[in-house]
Amino acid sequence: MQIVGIVAEYNPFHNGHAYQMTVARAKSGAEGVVVAMGGNYTQRGEFALMNKFSRAEAAVRCGADLVIELPLPFSVAGAERFATGGISLLGEFCQTISCGCETDDAVLLEEITELLCDDTVKNQIFDRVKSGEAYAVAVERVLGDYHKNYAELIRTPNNILACEYKKAIRNLGLSMPLIPVTRRGAEHNSEQSDGRFASASLIRSLPVCEVIDYLPMESAMILKREAEAGRVMRAAPEVAMLSYLRRLEPEELAEIAGCGEGLENRVYEALRTETTLSGVINRVTTKRYPAARIRRLLLSAYLDIKSTLLETCLLPPYIRVLAFNDTGRKILSKHKKDDGRPILTKGAHYSSLSPAAIELFEKEALADDLYTSAYPEEAQRKSGISLTTSPYYKK
C-alpha cells in the first residue's frame, strides 16, 4: 500500500489542511494518509486550542487514515527537532512525505537542503549564532550569500520546515520524496482571511460562530462540540504558570531544554519584574533569542522538560495512536507484522514499554493533566486523559 505522510499540528484542522491532504494524496497516488501530529502543546510554545484526541478525530473525519502523536520533546521544539521526530515516525509507514509551504519548487528546496547539510555552511551559520544572531537570521543571511532567492525562500516558517523535513530524511537514511503543496489563501500567521481560507492563528482568535466558513464541516462540528463542553483553550493558565515558574532558581532554569548561555538569568529576573507571561516574553526576547524560543522555554520549564530528556530521547521510542479508520487499521496491522517501533493504542498499557519510553510516557501524561486542568469548564478538569482516552475510530 502506498502511503503519504504529513507532519502537522491541526490547531485547528481548517480548509487549507484539507486542501493539502487532497493534493498530497493525488500527487503521490497514495492509498493512505498517515499524520504525525503534535499533542496538547504546539511548536509555538502554546496550549493547543483543543486536546489532541479531538484534533486527531477531526483529521480522520476530514480525510486522514491514521493519526499518531509527535511526542512532547519534539512537538515543543525548534524546527530541526520537530522535523526529525515527525519524519522518524512517518518513516515507519510512508513512502512519500508532503508538506504545505509557500513554494512548490522541489528543486529549489533541494538546493537549499544541500547547502544546509554542507559542513562549510554549517560552520558559517554556527559562527553567526555564536556572534549573537538568532539561528533563523543566521541561516537566512548565510544562504543569502549564495543566492538571494534562497534567503527570500527560507524567510517563511513553512519553507524552513520543508527544508528541515528534507534534511531529516537524509540524516535518518530514509528514501522518501517530499511533495510540497503551495498554501492556499492567507499567509502563515496572517490576520486576514481569503475567501474560504484563513490562517490557523486568525481562526484561533475568532469566536466559534465566526470560523465555520474556514473549517470543513466535520472539523467545525468538533470545535463547536468542544466549545460547548468547555474544553476549548483560548489562553494559557497565566496564574498557574507564573506561580510555578517563579519558584525556579536560575540553576534549575538552566537545566530546561532550550536554555543556556546565561538565558536563565534573564528569565529569572523577568519572572520577578513582570506580571504577565507576555511581559516576561517581551522582556527576555532579543535579536538572538526570538519570542518563539522564549515561549517554548517557558512552557518547557512549566512542563519540566529538561535538556537531559532531549539527550536520552533522540528519536520517538514508541508510536502513540490517536485516531484511525479501517485503512489506518490495515496500516497498523502491517506495521506490527514488520516488527517496527512498539505501538501504543491504549495508554493504560504503557508499562510494557522500555524504561526510557515509560519515562517519556509518564512525562507526557503529566503534561496532559496540566493541560486539562486549565479547561474553562471546571467539571472537565479531570486527570488521567492519557490513560483513559481511547483512540477515535471512524467505522
The pLDDT tens digits of the residues spanning 138-172 come to 888 999 888 878 888 888 889 999 999 999 999 99
According to DSSP, the β-strands at 197-198 and 392-394 are: unpaired
CA angle, corner 185, sides to 115 and 228, nearest 5? Answer: 115
**Where would I find the beta strands (DSSP E) of the chain?**
3-8, 32-38, 66-70, 96-101, 178-182, 193-194, 197-198, 319-325, 343-344, 392-394
Contact 373, 383 (CB under 8 A): yes
pLDDT tens readout for residues 13-48: 999 999 999 999 999 999 999 999 999 999 999 999
Q: 3-102+179-234+315-394 — its CATH code?
A: 3.40.50
- Crossing angle, helix 119-130 and helix 106-116, to 10 degrees? 70
Contact 90, 36 (CB under 8 A): yes
CA dihedral over 380, 364, 100, 258, signed as positive or negative: positive
Phi/psi at 47 (5° precision): -75, 135
Query: What's residue 175's pLDDT?
Result: 93
Domains of the chain by residue range: 3-102+179-234+315-394, 107-155, 238-310
Q: How far is CA 29 from CA 13, 26, 264, in A?
A: 23, 5, 49
Tally of CB atoms within 10 A around 170: 15
Residue tagged 543569502 (cell numbers): 144
CA angle, corner 291, sides to 272 and 182, nearest 5? Answer: 160
pTM (two decimals): 0.94
According to DSSP, the β-strands at 197-198 and 193-194 are: antiparallel
User: What is the full per-residue pLDDT of the chain (395 aa) written as tens digits?
Assistant: 999 999 999 999 999 999 999 999 999 999 999 999 999 999 999 999 999 999 999 999 999 999 999 999 999 999 999 999 999 999 999 999 999 998 888 888 889 999 988 999 999 998 998 888 888 888 889 998 888 788 888 888 899 999 999 999 999 999 999 999 998 755 555 555 566 778 888 888 887 878 888 999 999 999 999 999 999 998 889 999 999 999 999 999 999 999 988 899 999 999 999 999 999 999 999 988 999 999 999 999 999 999 999 999 999 999 999 999 999 999 999 887 667 799 999 998 999 999 999 999 999 999 999 999 999 999 999 999 999 999 999 98
